[in-house]
Amino acid sequence: MSDTADGITESLFEAPPMAEQERMVEAILFATAEPQSKLQIENRMPHGSDAAEALQHLRKRYEGRGVNVVRVGDGWAIRTAPDLGFLMQKETKEVRKLSRAAIETLAIIAYHQPVTRSEIEEIRGVSVSSGTIDMLLELEWIRLGRRRMTPGRPVTFIVTQNFLDHFGLESARDLPGVRELRDAGLLDNRPPPGAHHLNDADEEEAEDVGAEDQEDMFS
Amino acid sequence: MSDTADGITESLFEAPPMAEQERMVEAILFATAEPQSKLQIENRMPHGSDAAEALQHLRKRYEGRGVNVVRVGDGWAIRTAPDLGFLMQKETKEVRKLSRAAIETLAIIAYHQPVTRSEIEEIRGVSVSSGTIDMLLELEWIRLGRRRMTPGRPVTFIVTQNFLDHFGLESARDLPGVRELRDAGLLDNRPPPGAHHLNDADEEEAEDVGAEDQEDMFS
Amino acid sequence: MSEDVADDFLAEDQTDGFDSTAERIRAEALVVDVEGYEGPLDLLLTLARTQKVDLRKISVLALAEQYLKFVEKAKRLRIELAADYLVMAAWLAFLKSRLLLPPDPSDEGPSGAELAAHLAFQLERLGAMRRSAARLMARDQLGRDFFVRGIPEDVSIKRRVNYKATILDLMQAYARLRTKDSFEPLHMRERDAVFTMEQALERMKALLGHAIEWGDLTQFLPEGWLKDPAQRRSATASTFAASLELVKAGRLEIRQYDTFAPIQVRSKG
Test mutation, A92, A178, A200, chain C, max C CBs within 10 A:
A178
Q: In angstroms, rounded to a whole number, what is the distance separating the alpha carbons of residues B138 and B72?
A: 20
Per CATH, the architecture of B100-218 is what?
Answer: Orthogonal Bundle (1.10)
- Which of A7, A23, A44 shows the shortest C-beta gap to B65? A23
Subunit contact C41:B126, Cβ cutoff 8 A: yes
Looking at residue C7, its pLDDT comes to 35
What three-state secondary structure class fits A71?
A: strand
- Using CA coordinates, name the residue in chain A closest to C158: A91
Residue pair B72/B35 in contact (Cβ under 8 Å)? The answer is yes
A150 within 8 A of A158, measured Cβ to Cβ = no
Q: Is the ipTM of this complex over 0.90?
A: no
| Interval B64-79: pLDDT, tens | 999 999 999 999 999 9
Distance of CA C176 to the CA centre of its chain: 51
Residue type at position B68: N
Residue A67 pLDDT greater than 90, yes or no = yes
In whole angstroms, what is the distance from residue C67 CA to residue C88 CA? Answer: 9
pLDDT in tens, B26-75: 999 999 999 999 999 999 999 899 999 999 999 999 999 999 999 999 99
Written as one letter, the residue type at A211 is: A
Pinpoint the residues of chain A covered by CATH 1.10.10.10: 2-84, 100-218
Low-confidence winner among C64-68, C145-149, C155-159 (lowest mean pLDDT): C155-159
DSSP codes, A22-43 = HHHHHHHHHH-SS-B-HHHHHH
Looking at residue A99, its pLDDT comes to 87
Taking CA–CA distances from C123, the nearest residue in chain B reads B123
Distance from CA of A72 to the nearest CA of C (A): 13
Phi then psi dihedrals of residue B15, to 5 deg: -75, 150
Residue-wise pLDDT for C78-97, tens only, equals: 777 778 888 898 999 988 88
Asked if the Cβ–Cβ distance from A189 to C159 is below 8 Å, we say no
> Considering only CB atoms, which chain C residues are within 8 Å of A30?
147, 149-150
pLDDT digits (tens, 9 = 90+) for B161-212: 999 999 999 999 999 999 999 999 999 887 777 644 444 444 443 333 333 3
CA distance C213 to chain A (A): 36
* First-to-final CA distance of chain B: 48
Handedness of CA A171, A173, A178, A182 (dihedral sign): negative
Dist CA C249 CA B182 (whole Å): 72
Element (H, E) at B60: helix B51-61
How many whole angstroms separate alpha carbon B211 and alpha carbon A176? 69
User: Which chain A residue's Cα is nearest to C148?
Assistant: A31
CA atoms within 13 A on the CB side of A6: 4
Where does residue B60 rank: exposed (0-12), middle (13-18), buried (19+ CB within 10 A)? Answer: exposed
Mean pLDDT of A188-192: 43
Distances in whole angstroms, Cα of residue A90 to Cα of each of B64, B92, C155, C164: 33, 32, 7, 22
3-state secondary structure of C160: strand
A2-84 topology per CATH: Arc Repressor Mutant, subunit A (1.10.10)
Q: Is the pLDDT of residue A53 over 60?
A: yes
Q: Check CB contact under 8 Å for C160 and A34.
A: no
Residue of B nearest to C20 (CA): B131
Interface membership of C141 toward A (CB under 8 Å): no
Whether this prediction's pTM lies above 0.90 is answered by: no
The conformational region for residue C51 under phi > 0 = left, psi -120 to 50 = alpha, else beta, is alpha
Distance CA(A133)–CA(A156), nearest Å, equals: 11
| Cβ pairs bridging B and C (under 8 Å) | 181
* Nearest-5° Cα angle at C96, C93 to C102: 135
* pLDDT tens readout for residues C35-56: 677 888 888 888 888 776 677 7
Residue-averaged pLDDT of chain B: 83
- Please judge whether A89 and B1 are an interchain contact, meaning their C-beta atoms are less than 8 angstroms apart: yes
Chain B contacts in chain C segment 67-106 (CB below 8 A): 84, 91
Q: Which one of C20, C24, C133 has the shortest CB-CB distance to B104?
A: C133
8 Å CB contact between B118 and B205: no
* A·B CB contacts under 8 A: 85
Radius of gyration (C-alpha) of chain B in whole angstroms:
23
Burial of A70 (0-12, 13-18, 19+ CB in 10 A): middle
B1–A45 C-beta distance less than 8 A:
no
Classified as helix, coil or strand, C122 is helix
Amino acid letter, A171: S
Distance from CA of B184 to the nearest CA of C (A): 10
The residue of chain A nearest to residue C175, with distances taken between CA atoms, is A187
From the list A32, A104, A199, which residue is nearest C150 (CB)? A32
Q: Secondary structure of chain A: what % helix, strand, coil (to 5)?
A: 55, 15, 30
Chains touching A (3+ CB pairs < 8 Å): B, C
Site from C3, C4, C14, C21 to mutate, B interface, most B CB atoms within 10 angstroms? C21
CB contact under 8 A, A34 and C151: yes
Q: How many CB atoms lie within 10 A of CB C208?
A: 17
Handedness of CA B107, B111, B113, B118 (dihedral sign): negative
Chain segment A70-89, per-residue pLDDT in tens: 998 889 999 999 899 888 87
